[in-house]
Amino acid sequence: MNDDAIATATECLNAAESGSMTFPQIVGRLIKAGFESYEINFRRATATYFVPDGDCVELPIPPIEQPVSAQFDSASVQAAIKEAQQLVPGYTYRGFCEKVTKAGCAGYLVSFLGRRVLYVGRTGETHTEYFPN
C-alpha cells in the first residue's frame, strides 16, 4: 500500500477520534483514496483499511477499558448509531465506541461497496445499518 493511502487512513482514524470529521466525510475521503472497506476490532484495538486488490493497513486504536459484553443488545447498538447520525450534543466517537462495546459489539465492518455497516457481537449476532440515500 502506498504512503498516501496509509496517510489518508491515519488521518481519517484521527479525525474520528478528534471529532474533526463526520462519518460521511470520512467515508468520502477513504473512497476517494481508493479504499473499499474498513473494520474496527475492539478486542484487538485495531482499525484495518482495505483496498480492492486485498492489500490492507492495520492501525492501532485506543483500547476500550471495559471488555466487550457477552450479550449482543441490538437495540442499544441502534441507539448509539442514532446518536452518532444525529450528532446529538456531547456526542464523541469514543463515547460511541464505549456504548457499543457495552452493548456487546466486538467490532464492525464498513463496506463502501455494500453501502452498509455490519456490527458483530461475540457470538456472531449482527446488526446491519445501511447508508442513508
The domain segmentation of the chain, as residue ranges, is: 3-130
pLDDT score recorded for residue 17: 94
Give tens-digit pLDDT for 50-82. Answer: 999 999 999 999 999 999 999 999 999 999 999
The reported pLDDT for the residue numbered 37 is: 98
Q: What is the pLDDT of residue 82?
A: 95
Q: Which residue in 63, 64, 33 sits closest to 49, CA to CA?
A: 33
Reply yes or no on whether the pLDDT at 133 is more than 90. no
pLDDT in tens, 115-124: 999 999 999 9
- The reported pTM is 0.94
Q: Write the class of the CATH domain 3-130.
A: alpha beta
Handedness of CA 58, 83, 123, 115 (dihedral sign): negative
* Burial class of 101 by CB neighbour count within 10 A (0 to 12, 13 to 18, 19+): buried
Which of 23, 7, 38 is CA-nearest to residue 92?
A: 23
- Count Cβ atoms within 10 A of the Cβ of residue 119 and give its class: 0-12 exposed, 13-18 middle, 19 or more buried: buried
93-102 and 74-86 helices, crossing angle to 10°: 170
What is the pLDDT of the chain when averaged over all its residues? 96
Helix axes 3-18, 23-32, angle to 10 degrees: 180
- pLDDT tens, residue by residue, 41-52: 999 999 999 999
Rounded average pLDDT over 8-37: 96
